[in-house]
Amino acid sequence: MGSTTSRRDEILALTERIEALINDPQTVTELNHDPLRRRLREAGRRLSVALETPGDTAHRVVYSPLHLVTAKVGVDKGIFKLLAEAGDSTFTAKELAQKTNIDPVLLKRLLRYYQAFDYIRQPADDRYGATHVTKSMTGLALTSGAGLFYHMNAPTFMALPKFLAKNNYRNPNDVSDCPFQVGHNTDLSLFPWFQRRPELGPDFLNWMNSHCSDLPRFYDSYDIKQELWQNADADTILFVDVGGAHGHQTLGLKQKYPDQPGRFILQDQDFVVQQVKATPLPGFDGIQAQVHDFFTPQPLQGARAYYFRNVFHDWPNDICARILANIRPAMTEHSVILIDEIVLSERGSTWRATQFDIAMLTLMGASERTANEWHTVLDEAGFKIRSICQYTEECQNGLIVAVPK
């Protein structure tokens, strides 16, 4: 009895400490990128799951699509933006209804949901204000992700059970025959479908640019200047960002090395390059944007790095081999392939990494890969891995340096 009481007292003290932290999150958020912040966050998340009742588990899982759709409404109507821009000030529901042009009864219901999931705070019965999460709900990753996932990913996710049942639960590995076609009732694969949806272009580019912008980049861990750029001059092709979307990785790298002589080049499909040129990121001048289909021979000879970020995770091994075969003749002894992708662990993969994997399954019949699977795909394509540098824990991002065998 005595030990049960003291155990209970310990749990009570722990609960009170956790509640104090929740009320003053700055103590923790000011840890910034200290790995301790992630460890505490994961401990909290897993503790919450460990303590769930069966009802909690059921409700958390089956209501999960509501997260996306209610966030989309908040983004569309600028609710989070309004609250975040007000800083520490709070509003009544009526004030917010006037500013957002939403039926006050409806808005109150949305606000009730948002506060229940800690997207906003409700310090009094009729006062609503922002937290640091509200600010995140106004960031590019959330706003572009809400648009892209609502229109493109979510219908595909919903088609997964039907697709798998119809195909006897075989692992999809065909870009033209995966849940995407069922979800969108189309014969097209993702990129040709997407080309016909120019209205999704900005959300696509912004999502690519921002989905991991809270995490370190490969060049924070890999010294590319030391490893690849020795003796470069103004004509040296330093970095070719193949399938680079908005060119955000090239831009970040160029900004890290502003005095580096040499050329930085972004390559992508025609319709993507047109969007990039129409809406270049600030500071993009000095980077060349070039139309190139990576299923055709690489036109730039002897680059120091041919860089692919989240490109191979779109394709099965045989197609990856085709893409790599088109690079190989352009490489010299100074060239390497840089593959910036998730490297799944054999055990205990993270939630951010595994949801990318299931998304690839549904969208492209493709997958994220473990280190062993990366060795296989490169080996089959006639390449070998020189090194793998894992540079984020959250997403298990890694930089794979590969050269011809």
Ligand X SMILES: C[S@@+](CC[C@H](N)C(=O)[O-])C[C@H]1O[C@@H](n2cnc3c(N)ncnc32)[C@H](O)[C@@H]1O
In terms of CB distance, is 91 or 218 closer to ligand X? 218
**CA distances (Å), 59 to each of 76, 231, 319, 355, 373, in order?**
26, 60, 40, 20, 36
x-or-dash pattern for ligand X, window 135-174, by CB under 6 A? Answer: ----------------------------------------
Q: By three-state DSSP, how is residue 309 classified?
A: strand
Which of 211, 246, 292, 313 is catalytic? The answer is 313
Contact 256, 314 (CB under 8 A): no
Q: What minimum distance in Å lies between the beta carbon of 254 and ligand X?
A: 15
181, 268, 331, 369: which one binds ligand X (CB under 6 A): 268
If binding is defined by CB under 6 A, does position 304 make contact with ligand X? no
Contact 317, 377 (CB under 8 A): yes
24, 295, 376, 384: which one binds ligand X (CB under 6 A): 295
The reply to whether 334 belongs to the active site is no
The separation between the first and the last C-alpha atoms of the chain, rounded to the nearest angstrom, is 68
| Burial environment of residue 7 by CB neighbours within 10 A (0 to 12, 13 to 18, 19 or more) | exposed
With contacts defined by CB under 6 A, name the span among 59-67, 82-90, 174-182, 292-300 that binds ligand X. 292-300
In terms of CB distance, is 9 or 318 closer to ligand X? 318
Q: What minimum distance in Å lies between the beta carbon of 183 and ligand X?
A: 18
In terms of CB distance, is 203 or 268 closer to ligand X? 268
If binding is defined by CB under 6 A, does position 297 make contact with ligand X? no
If binding is defined by CB under 6 A, does position 294 make contact with ligand X? yes
Residue closest to 179 by CA, chosen among 211, 156, 202? 156
In terms of CB distance, is 208 or 300 closer to ligand X? 208
Contact 115, 168 (CB under 8 A): no
Q: What minimum distance in Å lies between the beta carbon of 14 and ligand X?
A: 41
If binding is defined by CB under 6 A, does position 310 make contact with ligand X? yes
Distance CA 275, CA 246 (A): 8
In terms of CB distance, is 108 or 292 closer to ligand X? 292
If binding is defined by CB under 6 A, does position 314 make contact with ligand X? yes
Distance CA 120, CA 174 (A): 42
If binding is defined by CB under 6 A, does position 300 make contact with ligand X? no
Q: By three-state DSSP, how is residue 50 classified?
A: helix
Q: What minimum distance in Å lies between the beta carbon of 1 and ligand X?
A: 59
Residues 171-230 that bind ligand X (CB under 6 A): 191, 208
**Token pair recorded at residue 245:** 């979307």
Distance CA 355, CA 336 (A): 29
If binding is defined by CB under 6 A, does position 362 make contact with ligand X? no
Helices then strands, each counted (H, E), the chain: 22, 10
Distance CA 368, CA 62 (A): 25
x-or-dash pattern for ligand X, window 233-262, by CB under 6 A? Answer: ----------xxx-----------------
Q: By three-state DSSP, how is residue 96 classified?
A: helix
Residue numbers at the binding site for ligand X (CB under 6 A): 191, 208, 243-245, 268-269, 272, 292-295, 309-311, 314
Query: Catalytic site residues?
Result: 313
